[in-house]
């Protein structure tokens, strides 16, 4: 067996190849591994130690990182912003061939943009080094993804993450049948009580001077085995002098609005829903998000069964609010106050002493309180 390299006619050979190639025995083992995991035995397997040209790395290729070999099984696809199924070529699904564990391998992709916020422009950018650092900070915290970082042969800082089995928070509510009122009364109380420890995770991060950087509903995975809500994807960062955690706080507010609204409520959704036809003419600028001006946060105007106390929390993220939340801790307190008068966790199966999620949180608190 041979290892395909850049001198072959393989059309995917644009990505730079390893400086050294394994011998025939290793090549045979890799071909057998591909057959075992992907069901097809290839004539050869490409092995990458330099991941710089990540677009050329595809299913069936292998990555050699930090002395371990990972078989690429696919490319992760985007969920949020209406970009479902758009491939994220720098994020690969993989299997650690030594352990058999499923992994997510994030390769180096750098980008930046400016976001209007509070009358100024905030620079947002991807930082592999920041994500690698945050992974260490939250290494033992149950509400975050786990993983480590390693340099590839070209010095790129690659993050190798444990795969979390389960839907995103966004996928969870979109898959449930029934209308909004049924969802609000039957499903939302459980989700909101489970969301509070997730926000406590953000507070833990902020208290250590770190940011998540891209707080969104599709960046919360509902772990199937434990029921924990776990934050993923920390590679974005931002520069906002004087308000270093502001975008995280507003992101948390957007997740809350999505939970209560069962997704993003905007003009397109209102136009498509006959039950909301009467709402559009009554909405004004003060009913919309202070950052996402197309998004409705005054959900009580659309769904009258949303209680005043809970809607009041949402309205602090509106363009008409003169008193936004200064911290995630303040948001946690507001949500807790609103929930205590509306929904009781008693009987909701969200805090039983024998649940895996509660056990994981109690174990962490015992070590850190």
- Return the residue matching tokens 């260490």: 136
Distance CA 228, CA 132 (A): 22
| Pairing mode, strands 220-222 and 229-231 | antiparallel
- Mean pLDDT confidence for 217-231: 95
Quick check: 167 pLDDT over 90? Answer: yes
Q: How does residue 23 score in pLDDT terms, banded at 50, 70 and 90?
A: low
Chain centroid to Cα 127, Å, comes to: 15
Top CATH class of 169-353 equals: mainly alpha
Neighbours of 121 (CB within 10 A): 12
**Residue-averaged pLDDT of the chain:** 86
Every domain of the chain with CATH number 1.10.510.10 lies at: 169-353
Distance CA 300, CA 325 (A): 20
Quick check: 21 pLDDT over 70? Answer: no
Distance CA 135, CA 231 (A): 11
- Return the residue matching tokens 């502001």: 246
Query: How large a percentage of the chain has pLDDT more than 90?
Result: 70
Q: Give pLDDT, residue 175.
A: 74
**DSSP states along 228-268:** -EEE----EEEE-TT-TTHHHHHHHHHHHHHHHHTS--BHH
Distance CA 217, CA 260 (A): 12
């Amino acid at each position: 067996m041979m290892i395909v390299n850049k001198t072959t006619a393989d059309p995917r050979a644009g990505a730079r190849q390893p400086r050294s190639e394994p011998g025939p025995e290793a090549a045979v083992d890799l071909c057998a591994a591909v057959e075992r995991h992907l069901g097809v035995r290839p004539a050869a397997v490409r092995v990458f130690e330099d991941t710089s040209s990540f677009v050329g790395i595809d299913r069936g290729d292998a990555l050699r990182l930090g002395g371990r070999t990972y078989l690429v099984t696919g490319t992760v696809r985007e969920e949020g912003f209406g970009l479902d199924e758009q491939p994220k070529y720098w994020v690969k699904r993989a299997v650690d061939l030594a352990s058999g564990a499923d992994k997510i391998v994030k390769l180096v992709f750098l980008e930046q943009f400016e976001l209007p916020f509070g009358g100024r422009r905030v620079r947002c950018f991807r930082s592999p080094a920041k994500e690698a650092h945050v992974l260490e900070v939250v290494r033992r915290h149950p509400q975050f993804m786990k993983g480590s970082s390693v340099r590839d042969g070209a010095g790129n800082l690659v993050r190798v993450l444990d795969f979390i089995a389960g839907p995103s928070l966004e996928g969870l509510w979109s898959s449930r049948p029934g209308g909004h009122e049924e969802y609000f009364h039957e499903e939302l109380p459980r989700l909101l009580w489970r969301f509070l420890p997730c926000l406590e995770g953000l507070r833990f991060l902020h208290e250590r001077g770190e940011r998540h950087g891209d707080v969104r509903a599709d960046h919360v995975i509902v772990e199937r085995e434990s029921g924990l809500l776990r934050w993923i994807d920390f590679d974005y960062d931002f520069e906002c002098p004087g308000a270093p955690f502001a975008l995280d706080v507003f992101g948390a507010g957007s997740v809350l609005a999505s939970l209560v609204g069962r997704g993003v409520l905007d003009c397109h959704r209102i136009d498509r829903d006959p039950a909301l036809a009467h709402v559009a003419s009554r909405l004004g600028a003060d009913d919309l998000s202070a950052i996402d001006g197309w998004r409705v946060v005054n959900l009580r105007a659309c769904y009258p069964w949303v209680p005043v106390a809970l809607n009041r929390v949402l309205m602090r993220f509106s363009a008409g609010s003169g008193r936004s939340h200064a911290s995630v801790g303040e948001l946690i307190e507001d949500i807790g106050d609103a929930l205590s008068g509306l929904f009781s966790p008693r009987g909701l199966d969200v805090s039983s002493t024998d649940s895996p999620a509660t056990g994981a949180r109690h174990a962490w608190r015992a070590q850190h309180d």
